[in-house]
Copies of this chain bind each other. A is one copy, B any other.
């Protein structure tokens, strides 16, 4: 069900022919009239045409649907790309009886290749005909590119439901790009409050996600609130607000973990928690520096419990730290204390090294870094760097 688990949403996913595989590649998710929207977009300076159009439509305050194609990213396509995004989303809007401003376009796929407008036009009637309250799964499949499984999640918050789906990941896959996530709820939430929820609860989840440190041209997280569960709009502090926020957070974290587990070539998931930083931003940069480090990622792949790699990556974050306050543990095994790796670690048959090696063999590896006594904390989600990542991204030929 995923994105159509909450009331007030219909979705569909069909095969338009953008992808050589013949899989579903065109999706539509529609909220009932009155649905509010909020979004997070890529910070990449080279933003795709649908991101530009989406930002603009969101600012007009009426978005309640999203049209997604996979196969072509419609990025680096100039003004023709913007025209294509405007025209195709307007066509979908007309078919569902909405204004163009109510449909946001979203794309993932090859950067530079123009949208296949003709194929999209031909598939559009069947897509709209297929819209249903059971269409969440077909929609979740239609947005996939190199994903091996669809990513879907649901949660409840008292009388309200939250759902969502996402695709990735390799941030940009070889030719098929982008992380896209769509989160829905049937609670009523004004657009400004919904944006606050997205920025406060979802941004820290999706920003903390890193497969290869590459932010794509198309990354988008869209949140839609239909209000179909009834009742007054929830506002911060009102009854049910915190429960809703927690449910949205839970859906976000579940999608992020699913994205990481399906990262290109990933064989291990790594969760990096940084504490004791001067502030949250320092903690965030340190956590991402560890999760992004190729030397940490290859160590995780190979099961090499080399504490020096984790210390090096923490120190390379560009954050002013006191190395003599640095503690690091892997899977609960303390491998550095006060910036010092115990010399016994390097002795033959060291019990400490043995424990660390065992921790590195887990499917999910937890890394914990303490920088000092500051209040800043953050978590990053990463995965290992395997032969398969190189194969997927190196052997592909345009």
Contact = CB atoms under 8 A, between A and B. Distances in A.
Contacts of A44: 312, 315-316
A70 interface: no
Contacts of A125: none
Interface in A214-259: 214-217
Nearest to A72: B346
A390 B386 contact: yes
Contacts of A213: 293-294
A78 B322 CA distance: 12
A290 to B, nearest CB: 11
A281 to B, nearest CB: 14
Contact of A395 (B302, B321, B341): B302
B214 A293 contact: yes
A interface bracket (residues with beta carbon within 8 Å of B): 35 or more
A287 to B, nearest CB: 15
A295 B340 contact: no
A72 to B, nearest CB: 9
How many copies of the chain does the oligomer comprise?
2
A43 B316 CA distance: 7
A349 interface: no
B394 A324 contact: no
Contact of A396 (B302, B393, B396): B302
A187 B256 CA distance: 59
B308 A214 contact: no
Interface of A: 43-47, 73, 75-78, 80, 110-114, 170-172, 174-175, 177, 212-217, 293-295, 298-299, 301-309, 311-321, 323-324, 326, 336, 338-341, 343, 345-346, 353, 357, 385-387, 389-391, 393-398
28 contacts: A45-B316, A46-B315, A46-B321, A46-B326, A47-B315, A75-B311, A75-B312, A76-B311, A78-B338, A111-B308, A111-B309, A112-B340, A113-B343, A113-B346, A114-B343, A114-B346, A172-B312, A174-B295, A212-B294, A214-B293, A214-B312, A214-B313, A217-B311, A294-B385, A295-B393, A302-B395, A304-B394, A385-B390
